[in-house]
Amino acid sequence: MIEAYRRMRDLVGAEVLGLLAFLVIVVIAFSLATPRFLTGENFGSIAFQLPELGLLTLAMLVPILSGGLNLAITYTANFCGLTLAWILQVHGGVDAGFGAFLLGCAAALAVGATAGLIMGLVIAYVGAHPILVSLAMMIFIRGLGEFLTRGGDISGFPDFIRPIGHGSVLGFPIPLLIFLVAAAIWYIMLQRTRHGFSTYMLGSNLEATRYSGIPTRRTITLIYTLSGLMCAVAGIVMVARFNSVRVGHGDAYLLITVLACFLGGVDPFGGFGRVLPVAIALLILQVLSSGLNLIGANQHLSTAVWGLFLIAVMVIRFGWQRLALRR
């Protein structure tokens, strides 16, 4: 038994096991509280709700790993969505063809990457703090979006994009599949590539990394460009899910993505953190939120529970580290 536990721990890490244990406890608690929890509908609902937040969290994860932050993620995502929506509108709105959609996606990805690139260049070459730069970018993108749309929304898209937000393949929701693919790419990027290694090094110690001959400026620029690219993917999924875009959609997600990263054991000062625990942390947050909704708890209470949960995890982690040191 203990041997099996050790092997598991070596395979996926103690962090993941702890989070999984908590997930199991939460699921058991809610299934005792309401018979509606352990149902296909509820898991379907969770699976459809997770991806858009998940994609944004991935966009937030990489800058945090490098010791920075990207506060512009939600507005970048919406701005990319607006780009897609605008190209669909130009090509006939509801009657737009699949070609227009592909073109729109390409443009959305380009816009996201550009927004990230600009942020990355400013952070890398001007040396301004990522919080300031991304905050400025957030305000700029939001203002530009509000100006271009006059604060309204763009809607009326061809029917074939709807499955991207609401369809299923073999019982798996398509947005979830998109998220899983994106998470897998992020995992490979962080664990198996030179850029991923540089990202962790940068987050641990910028100066030491520079002296060791890693092109830190190029790496930082690439980090934010990739973050912007992931925002664009989130933006495209949100267009399909909401059937409309406005700069303000999902602005409540911004801080939740930071929360999910920290819950997943990412070091707030950068350098440490992995994709898998973050994905499990996201799942826990979603299960908590859906479960509380299911038992009819006040929405404001669910925010409070998330906060309580974060504090509890920090306290436990602190205690655990002390324990590990004493041994």
Partner 1 sequence: MFKRFAAPLLGAAVIAASLATAAVAQDKPTMGVVVKIGGIPWFNAMEVGIKEQGDAMGMDAFMVGPTSADPALQVRAIEDLIAKGVDVIGVVPNDANAIEPVLEKARAAGIKVVTHESPAQKNVDWNFEMASSKGFGEAHAKMLAEAMGGKGSYAVYVGSLTVPLHNEWADYAIAYLKDNYPDMKLIGDRYGVAESVDDSRKTALDLIAANPDLTGFLAFGSQGPIGIGRALEETRKVGEIAVYGPFSPGQGRQLVKEGAISGGFMWNPMEAGRVFVRVGDMLVKGEAITDGTTIEGLGEVHPDGTNIIVDALIPINKDTVDGLADLGL
| Concatenated DSSP letters of 133-145 | HHHHHHHHHHHHH
Give the DSSP per-residue string, 254-280. Answer: HHHHHHHHHHTT--TTSS---HHHHHH
Q: Minimal distance in Å, beta carbon 97 to partner 1?
A: 20
176-235 binders of partner 1 (CB under 8 A): none
Question: Binding to partner 1 (CB under 8 A): which residues in 265-304?
Answer: 288-301, 303
Q: What are phi and psi of 155, to 5 degrees?
A: -145, 180
Interface pattern 64-83 for partner 1 (x via CB under 8 A): --------------------
Q: Which of 211, 307, 319, 321 binds partner 1 (CB under 8 A)?
A: 319
Comparison of 166 and 217: residue with beta carbon closer to partner 1 = 166
Q: Which of 92, 143, 151, 215 binds partner 1 (CB under 8 A)?
A: 151
Query: Least distance in Å: CB of 311 to partner 1?
Result: 9
Given 12, 17, 185, 206, the residue binding partner 1 (CB under 8 A):
17
Contact status: 93 vs partner 1 (CB under 8 A): no
Out of 16, 87, 238, 260, the only residue in the binding site for partner 1 (CB under 8 A) is 238
Residues, the chain, total?
327
Q: Which of residues 27-66 bind partner 1 (CB under 8 A)?
A: 28-30, 32-36, 39, 41-42, 44-46, 48-49, 52
What's the alpha-carbon Rg for the chain, to the nearest Å?
Answer: 20
- Two structure tokens written together for 14: 């103690």
Angle at 62 between CA 61 and CA 67, to 5 degrees: 95
25 binds partner 1 (CB under 8 A): yes
Residue 292 Cα distances to 47, 83, 281, 282, 314, angstroms: 16, 35, 16, 15, 22
Residues 6 or more apart from 70 whose CB is under 8 A from it?
Answer: 59, 60, 63, 116, 119, 130, 134, 224, 227
What separation in angstroms does the CA of 40 have from each of 27, 62, 167, 288? 14, 33, 15, 17
* One residue of 5, 125, 160, 211 binding partner 1 per CB under 8 A: 5
**Residue whose token pair is 């993505």:** 257
The binder of partner 1 chosen from 86, 243, 272, 276 (CB under 8 A): 243
Q: Does 164 bind partner 1 (CB under 8 A)?
A: no
Taking the least distance from each CB to partner 1, the nearer of 10 and 41 is 41
Min dist. Cβ of residue 125 to partner 1 (A): 35
The one among 165, 203, 265, 270 contacting partner 1 by CB under 8 A: 165
Q: Is 307 in the site for partner 1 (CB under 8 A)?
A: no
Question: Do residues 228 and 76 touch, judged by C-beta distance below 8 A?
Answer: yes
Task: Indicate the Cα dihedral angle 211, 215, 217, 222, nearest 10°.
Answer: -140
Residue entry with tokens 């940068």: 202
CB 292 → partner 1: shortest distance, Å?
7
Residues 147 and 137: their CA atoms lie apart, in Å, by 15
Give CA–CA dist 258/154, Å, rounded. Answer: 28
Please report whether residue 241 would count as binding partner 1 according to CB under 8 A.
Answer: yes
Q: For residue 308, state whether it binds partner 1 (rule: CB under 8 A).
A: yes
Query: Rounded to the nearest 10 degrees, what angle do helices 194-204 and 216-242 cross at?
Result: 110
From the CB of 324, what's the least distance to partner 1, in Å?
9
Residues that bind partner 1 (CB under 8 A): 5, 14, 17-18, 21-22, 25-26, 28-30, 32-36, 39, 41-42, 44-46, 48-49, 52, 150-153, 155-156, 162, 165-166, 238, 241-244, 246, 248-253, 288-301, 303, 305, 308-309, 312, 315-316, 319-320, 323
